[in-house]
Amino acid sequence: MAGSLNKVLLIGRLGADPEIKQMVNGKNVARLSVATSQSWKDKNSGERKEKTEWHRVVIFNEGLINVVQQYLKKGANVYIEGQLSTRKWKDESTGQDKYSTEIVLQGYNSSLTMLDGRNKSNSDNLVNENKSSLPDENINQAGNDLDDEIPF
């Protein structure tokens, strides 16, 4: 295959409080249940219709897990960027193979934005996996005298 892309973008609401669990290796994982809805007007009846899809979101990044744990609750509106992943597991009661498809936030391609946070500033609600902290807007202007002899 010449190229491929596995990217999921969602805007939705949490259907439950985030679930934080510890994995066997001691690291935490966060699980979210995100609902997306679409509504339309039925052409035949003129009635308003709505369809809701539920998405499982799994977060492995510790920084994002901390934000989820502190700030997200059921009903929170979020924007999520991640990758689609399907895993196979065996149902212990029936012995049958089962499959679960999830949106995974891991690596530099992932982000989580809280859309209805208390702070309405554009940058305050954005947490990217590749940015563990956001720049301080009140940085001392004396920092502009950078050494121009850096070789890169």
Confidence at 126, pLDDT banded by 50, 70, 90: very low
- What pLDDT, in 10s, does the model give residues 62-91? 889 999 999 999 999 999 999 999 999 899
SS3 141: helix
Domains and CATH numbers, the chain: 8-40+50-127 (2.40.50.140)
- Is the backbone of residue 88 left (phi > 0), alpha (psi -120 to 50) or beta? beta
- What pLDDT, in 10s, does the model give residues 87-118? 998 999 999 999 999 999 998 889 999 998 55
Q: Phi and psi (nearest 5°) for 36?
A: -120, 145
Q: How many Å is the Cα radius of gyration of the chain?
A: 20
Confidence at 58, pLDDT banded by 50, 70, 90: very high
CA distance 31 to 12: 15
pLDDT of residue 117: 58
From 63, 67, 73, 60, select the one nearest 14 (Cα to Cα).
73
